[in-house]
Each structure stands twice: as C-alpha cells, then as structure tokens.
Amino acid sequence: MLSGIDYLLVGLAALAAGAVNALAGGGTLITFPMLTAVGLPAVAANVTNTVALSPGYLGATLAQAKDLRDQRKRMWLLLPASALGGITGGILLLNTGERLFRDLVPYLIILASVLLAVQDPVRAWLVRRAEEMGTAVNSDKSAVLPAFLAAIYGGYFGAGLSVIVLAALGLTLDDSLTRLNALKQAIAFSVNVTAAIFFLFSGKVVWSAALVMAVGALVGGTLGGRLAGRIKPASLRKVVVTIGFAVAIIYLIR
C-alpha cells in the first residue's frame, strides 16, 4: 500500500517525465525507477508506467498529424504490425518472472540510456542519408519487420523506443526526417496504447499510482511545451542519460 509521500514522489516523477518527454524524451528513466523505489515490484512498475504515460503519445502524434496525412498507406502496413509487436512484448513481459525481470532491469536501463544518448547522432545520420541519392530501399513493406521487432521491445520495456523506430524507418524508407519523425510518433503511439490496453486486463496495474502519474505527466507535458525553446533538448538529454546510468548502477549494486 502506497503512502501519501509515495504518491507525492510518484506524481512529481511523472510531472518531470512529462516535461522531459515534451522536450527531449526519456521520461521513463525517471518514472520507472521511482515506482520501484516506492516499493512496486518491477513488472508491476513497468506495466503501471506504460499505462500511465501512454496518453502522452497521442498528443505527440496529433501535433504532427499534417505530416501523416499522405502516409496513410504506410500506416495501414506499419501500425497493425506495431500493435502486434506491442502485444507480443507485453505477453513476454507478463511471462517473465519477477526475479528475472528485476535482473534484466539494469541492462534495459543501460540500453535505454545509450539509445537516448545517440538520438542526435541518429538524426544527423538520417539527414545525411536523405541528401544522398539512390541509397534508400524505398519500399514500405521493407519497414514492416523492423517496426514489428522494435515494437516488441516497446511493449516489453519501451524506454528509447523512439530512437529504435526512427533508425529502422531511416534504413528502410526514402523520405524526409520530418515525415519519418511523424511516422515514428504514430508507431510509438500504436505500440504503447496497444500494450497499455493489453495490460489493463493483466491485474498488474496499480491504478492509484497510474492515475496520479497520468495527471502529473499531463501537467508536465504542458509545462514542457511552454519551456520549449528556453531549454536546450541536448543538454536536458545529457542529464536524463546521466540519471539513467546512475540508476542502472544502483540496480546492479543491489
């Protein structure tokens, strides 16, 4: 049973995560460790975190809707594959024993931190690649399998998913970074919402914490949107990556 202080800490973590996600990404590296710190089992913490933060992906997707309007054919291919991958990852998570998942947590956090750290280089590579002629596969179908595999990871843990999806799309589709980024948001939304809906029936969601987090994330996302332009995403990303590695070390020591 969580105490009032626990709810306060979880709410503040979600508020910070909402702002971080709006500015730079990586909010899960703040909320998931806080949930385990207040006593939630690792699997329940991960499930609760996915459910609580999934609505935030809708806002990010709607914000780039204009870049998705003429990508409907791609979305008909990729979103179902992503949803299936999200469910697959969710099934794997719920069938992973608590002890095994807790053992995997530090390595998953390290992976997520590394993915967040390389986000800018990945974007720079995509820009360079777009300037090159004749290097793209340019087949919508070629992106289905990479999107599905990325979605499995997203349903299982999720932190750093956007970087994986963006890199997969950049390798398989010939398009501008702006349009690929919009497609990435739609895929991330599909993965997280599908996994969240699946988790609703798992019995693992700590609803009181999820509701507090949802409110905190919503407020944080609004604040983050207003702070855009005042805070450099790259600088904030470095802070989140540092926190991620520190948390991973703590888990390893435990």
pLDDT at 225: 65
Q: Is the pLDDT of residue 5 over 90?
A: yes
Predicted local confidence at residue 86, as pLDDT: 94
Residue 224's pLDDT band, with cuts at 50, 70 and 90, is: confident
Residues listed for the chain? 254
pLDDT at 21: 75
Average pLDDT over residues 154-167: 83
CA distance 95 to 89: 10
- The pLDDT, as a whole number, for residue 66 is 83
Who has greater pLDDT, 77 or 226? 77
Phi, psi of 228 (to 5 degrees): -55, 130
Tokens describing residue 69: 């309007």
The pTM (predicted TM-score) of the whole model is: 0.82
Query: What CA–CA distances, in Å, run from 106 to 18, 32, 103?
Result: 22, 11, 7
